[in-house]
Amino acid sequence: MVRALTGSSAGKAYRCPGCDQEIRPGTPHVVTWPAYARDSDLEPWDVESAADWRRHWHTTCWRSRDRRR
């Protein structure tokens, strides 16, 4: 799952796993998490479990992630 954030509401900095740089507060970016729990393809995430797996990416890093590997 991918959701775009404008960053306007978040007053927190995140580390982007794509470039290992900080995403400054207020920077538009995307947040991603697995659509399904790893151990079971049948069970969708409940909200609290998904929070542990959320990752914040720069929008550009997310778009270019396939080229990095």
Q: What is the DSSP letter of 65?
A: H
- Interface with Zn ion includes 30 (CB under 5 A)? no
Minimum Å gap between C-beta 6 and Zn ion is 17
SS (H, E, C) 4-26: EECCCCCCCCEECCCCCCEECCC
Among 14, 27, 30, 61, binds Zn ion (CB under 5 A): 61
Span near Zn ion by CB under 5 A; candidates 6-14, 30-38, 41-49, 50-58: 50-58
The rounded distance, in Å, linking the Cα atoms of 42 and 17 is 27
Q: Of 30 and 61, which has the nearer Cβ to Zn ion?
A: 61
